[in-house]
Structure 1
Amino acid sequence: MMRPGPAASIFLLSLMLATAGIAWALTPTIFLADQLAPLQLRSAVPAAFGDWRELPFEASQIVDPSSEQLINAIYTETLTRTYINSKGYRVMLSIAYGRDQRDSLQLHQPEACYPAQGFKLLNKQASELHLAGRTITGTRLDTQLGNRREPVTYWTMVGDKVFKDGLHKKLVEMQYGTKGYIPDGMLVRVSSIDENITHAYLLQEQFSADMVQSLPNLLAPRFAGLQKL
């Protein structure tokens, strides 16, 4: 096999350096979270809104199989609360926020978390959610552990965009990346212990809409995307 001559070697080296330079130039370096209003989940999400108020000391019911070490590595902040309405219906809220949503630090999806805790995943479906003037794509799960039937509604954000699936997430990340931004991400999960699946989803959507409605205007897009007029 003939070795490349000096001119060809110089050309190949130049091409490699140019490729490396382009890759470096296209690598995002600015955290989107640093360009936005500061986000602290505990203060951003009210303890009472609409017909709902927080029940203290009830977070132990909420499913989260991740170890503390893994949580600290992936998430910048988490919030778990249980709320109750005037009729005594309880809804469990879990929010996970990470300021870096590159591949190695992705939020954990509930369809993986629940089976990890021994739940059966009975059904999964995409569903439109109407949240205070926003129509977003969320996911609904039907899970069961023994006699505990726990319907789940959740949605996932990258920056101020709700993504529908893994491919959509990559496209959104690339959009931010071309502008030099490392996007943040948030997963909002709402669940309740209820044998009546339709009833559970209805109240979960109402709870979610009331929560988004209660958020400060600057923070609402971080939780449920840009408002559609």
Structure 2
Amino acid sequence: MTSLINRAQWAMLTLMVLAAVAAWRFTPTILLADKLAPIHLDAVVPSAFGDWKELTNQAAQIVDPSRQKLIDEIYTETLSRTYVNAKGYRIMLAIAYGRDQRDSLQLHQPEVCYPAQGFTLLGKHTDMLPLPQRNVAITRIETRLGNRAEPVTYWTMVGETVFRGGINKKLGEMQYGRQGYIPDGMLVRISSIDPNNANAYQLQKQFASDLVQALPPAFVKRFAGPENSL
């Protein structure tokens, strides 16, 4: 009887050791960002493109300043700008980039951040956004704070691929992990103060298309995924 118990204990110990070795073997250790061109948002994102130009001193608020310490831990860089077109329509662009997208350092989704800042989330839906040579899986939300209606379009990147939803995003991280890489991540958020959702989303679509077309070619995939992506 004692011999059987000992054999069972040794078998369990062996399985635990094998599991530990497998976990160590398949734990990614290389930052994908170190293998790609470094991203400096201020330099990569143009201040004028298409019919849009940046309004100075009109930054789009990307986070609640009271949570700045947490944001500094999650993101490597953030960019917040307001652009205006020839007709005076304003669009706010907010981009958050993190070199490390492991579980403890996940990008924060707008449907979480907006209510945390006092906005009411009125609606949410997903869509495909046609951009130059690619289709991007996006999420759109409608928010309101008092009389301020702010429709939002956003998408998230894991490495060089667009992923929508927590499960798909996790699968993307695992794909990179199997190659030994810790992926970087990016959230691109476009919004405008507009009570007409249809009008807002149409202009946001044009803004996104103009933006992607104006990015340096070497960085387009990092911001909007590969060509003809679905």
- Structure 2 length normalisation: TM-score? 0.94
* Unaligned runs of at least 5 residues, structure 1: none
Q: How does 1:1-229 map to 2 (within 5 A)?
A: 4=4, 6-59=6-59, 61-65=60-64, 67-228=67-228
Cα distance change on mapping 1:100 and 1:3 into 2, 3 Å: farther
Cα distance change on mapping 1:27 and 1:84 into 2, 3 Å: same
* Unaligned runs of at least 5 residues, structure 2: none
- CA distance in 1 between counterparts of 2:78 and 2:200 reads 24
- Whether contact under 8 Å (1:63, 1:114) holds in the other structure is no
- CA distance in 2 between counterparts of 1:209 and 1:58 reads 22
Deviations 1:36-59 (A, max 9, x none): 111100000000001100001011
Q: Compute the displacement of 1:9 (Å).
A: 4.0
One-letter amino acid of the counterpart of residue 198, structure 2: T
One-letter amino acid of the counterpart of residue 87, structure 1: K
Q: Percent identity?
A: 59
- CA distance in 2 between counterparts of 1:44 and 1:86 reads 23
SS in 1 for 2:173: helix
SS in 1 for 2:54: strand
SS in 1 for 2:218: coil
- CA distance in 2 between counterparts of 1:51 and 1:208 reads 12
- Whether contact under 8 Å (2:62, 2:80) holds in the other structure is no
Q: Compute the displacement of 1:4 (Å).
A: 4.9
Which has the larger displacement, 151-160 or 3-12? 3-12
- Count of residue pairs the alignment pairs up: 228
Q: Compute the displacement of 1:28 (Å).
A: 0.3
Deviations 1:120-159 (A, max 9, x none): 1111000111111211110111111111111100000101
- CA distance in 2 between counterparts of 1:45 and 1:58 reads 16
- Structure 1 length normalisation: TM-score? 0.95
Deviations 1:150-201 (A, max 9, x none): 1100000101111121110111111001000000000000000011110100
- Whether contact under 8 Å (2:74, 2:107) holds in the other structure is yes
Cα distance change on mapping 1:70 and 1:3 into 2, 3 Å: farther
- CA distance in 2 between counterparts of 1:5 and 1:150 reads 65
- CA distance in 2 between counterparts of 1:3 and 1:58 reads 75
- CA distance in 2 between counterparts of 1:184 and 1:57 reads 29
Deviations 1:61-94 (A, max 9, x none): 5352262211110000000000001111000000
One-letter amino acid of the counterpart of residue 16, structure 1: M
Q: Compute the displacement of 1:202 (Å).
A: 0.4
Q: Compute the displacement of 1:10 (Å).
A: 3.8
